[in-house]
Structure 1
Amino acid sequence: MDQRALKKLVESISKSVKSFQKSEIECLIKLFNSLVKRTDGRLAKIGLDRHAFQGILHKIFGMTDDKLMDRVFFVFDKNNDNHINVNEWVKGLSVFLRGTFEEKLKFCFEVYYLNGDGYISEEEIFDMLRNSLHQYLPEEQTDEGIKELVEITLKKMDYDNDGKISFADFERAVREDTLLLEVFGPCLPEAQVQL
């Protein structure tokens, strides 16, 4: 990418991304381009595929949960083309790394509602908790314990008692207890990462 094209892209992205300075956006674009070229030269015009992105989440951010990394990929991939382009990369990282509380709240909720219907269902809660806890308990003990955790979670977060957690329910619960932001598994970096 030549300097002129890079400068134009930085200007374009900086209009919608306020949490990074232009110099940081430029660095993120250069990093993106090097990551894409390193993974597969054929993707240069498309972007990062799911596998490459999960590798980045694992190596740079220490994430290990495949299901959550997959969901983070889909939240970054706003145009649903199964690739993260440079705009999605910078915009996603702006929330992921420097987002406001409200942006991170929305991000985590989007990661957690698995089927795209805008609600976190009882089944989704069960699947996420099972996925997170399966490494700590034998399978026989896991399911019963998780069923109990699902009931507790719904009692704590389902304010309108409809058997699922809406964004309004999630927001209210997290505002009352911020530890609930990542209740179904870590989907944000634990510490500030220098890229």
Structure 2
Amino acid sequence: MKMCIRRKSCKRQLFKFAQHLLQFVTGTLSSESVDDEQVEVPIQHRPETIEQLEALTLFTRRELQMLYRGFKNDCPSGLLNEDTFKTVYASFFPQGDVTKYAHYLFIAFDRNQSGLVTFEDFIMGLSVLLRGPVEDKLSWTFNLYDINKDGFITKEEMLDVMKAIYDMMGKSINPNVKDVTLKQHVETFFQKMDKNQDCVVTVDEFIECCQKDDNMMKSMHIFDLAI
């Protein structure tokens, strides 16, 4: 019963965060009319044209205009830095430490590993996470776990991300999770994915394993809301 309550609390917290993230990106989706024929251009960074963004994402023209308006409100330069990204997380997980998980998430959005996320970076990631097919979502999640971006997930990388997730949730949600328990969970999870036992998980192994395991898929969907 206690575990069920903690899971429900976790889901509510993650759902609230997802709503907050959308408001952050969209500027609360203002109902004002949008007459601009082109996405407005910030001084420091020039985004792709709205036609190009429509072709690259699953958002409509109007949605892209509203999304960009919200993005520009928080990032007038057109570039999102990691400190601002972490501030969003910290406001919704006050009882946990968001530092590591927000860092891993930020570098997953930062396609060029430049230390800054452009509107294109953010909108393309958001398009996959909100509207992409399951396989694309799993590919994006694989990239999150692949911390050093070498195309493989190691057991150490998986453990680091899982620790970061529990740190973000805080002791009030996961009061009895010990390092040894978490390591055992990661060991079991990793061995199911590493079919050829070469001590690394490829994106194909990751996707195949997750799609075949109902419990893994449910777990992935819960954590997707945190993104």
**TM-score (normalizing by structure 2):** 0.66
* Match for residue 51 of structure 1 among 83, 91, 98: 83
% same residue = 24
Partner of 2:190: 154
The total of aligned residue pairs comes to 180
RMSD: 3.3
2:119 is aligned with 1:80: no
Letter in 2 for 1:49: N
1:110: how far off? 0.3
* Match for residue 11 of structure 1 among 30, 45, 51: 51
C-alpha offsets along residues 142-191 of structure 1, whole Å, 9 cap, x if unaligned? Answer: 23223322321222221111122211211111110144258589652269
Partner of 1:40: none
Partner of 2:199: 163
2:61 is aligned with 1:22: yes
Letter in 2 for 1:11: E
Decide whether the 8 Å contact of 1:36 with 1:48 is kept in 2.
Answer: yes
Letter in 1 for 2:140: F
**TM-score (normalizing by structure 1):** 0.76
2:143 is aligned with 1:123: no
- Structure 2 CA distance for aligned equivalents of residues 120 and 183 of structure 1: 18
Partner of 1:41: none
Task: From the superposition, tell whether residues 107 and 61 of structure 1 become closer, same or farther in structure 2 (CA, over 3 Å).
Answer: farther
2:219 is aligned with 1:180: no
- Structure 1 CA distance for aligned equivalents of residues 115 and 71 of structure 2: 16
Task: From the superposition, tell whether residues 186 and 118 of structure 1 become closer, same or farther in structure 2 (CA, over 3 Å).
Answer: farther
- Structure 2 CA distance for aligned equivalents of residues 64 and 133 of structure 1: 9
Structure 1 unaligned residues grouped into runs of 5+: 38-43
Once the two structures are overlaid, the 10-residue window that deviates more, 71-80 or 121-130, is 121-130
Structure 2 unaligned residues grouped into runs of 5+: 1-34, 41-47
Decide whether the 8 Å contact of 2:101 with 2:165 is kept in 1.
Answer: no
Letter in 2 for 1:90: I
1:82: how far off? 1.2
